[in-house]
Structures are given as structure tokens and as C-alpha cells.
Amino acid sequence: MRECLRCKTKMIENCSIKVEGGGYGIVMATDDKRLFANRIGKPKVAICPNCGEVSIYVENTKNLE
């Protein structure tokens, strides 16, 4: 469960982020050469239904180790 950093409301998780005007999602990757081939994966988005705070996160943090 993710809690809003601002108002402590339970956030709506598992939303996706898309670039407007295209069907493209955003893929994040590190600049670290060692990990360059490893994409971190698609970011997920959580939205606070109370204040509108948006939080972007990744589910699989193992790829960041």
C-alpha cells in the first residue's frame, strides 16, 4: 500500500504512464554502463485521490541493485 506523502491518503496504485498523443509508455534505464543493457522496466504510477499527488515508482527494485 502506498500512502500519499502529502496527505497520507491511500493512493490508487498500478496506474500506467503514457505519452500523450502516442501509444508509447516510458521506459526507464540507468546510465550506469554496467546496467546499461538492463532496463529497469516500466514505471508505475500511484495517484492520490484526495490531493492529486502523483508518485512514480518501479515494482521490480531488484534491477537496481
Q: Map residue 23 onto helix, strand or coil.
A: coil
Taking the complex as a whole, the smallest distance from the CB of residue 53 to Zn ion amounts, in Å, to 4
Taking the complex as a whole, the smallest distance from the CB of residue 9 to Zn ion amounts, in Å, to 5
Pick 5 or 29: Cβ nearer Zn ion: 5
According to DSSP, the β-strands at 54-57 and 28-29 are unpaired
Candidate residues 41, 42, 44, 53; the one interacting with Zn ion per rule CB under 5 A: 53
Q: Is 4 in the site for Zn ion (CB under 5 A)?
A: yes
Residues in Cβ contact with 7 at an 8 Å cutoff, skipping those fewer than 6 apart: 48, 50, 51, 53
Q: Is 13 in the site for Zn ion (CB under 5 A)?
A: no
Taking the complex as a whole, the smallest distance from the CB of residue 39 to Zn ion amounts, in Å, to 30
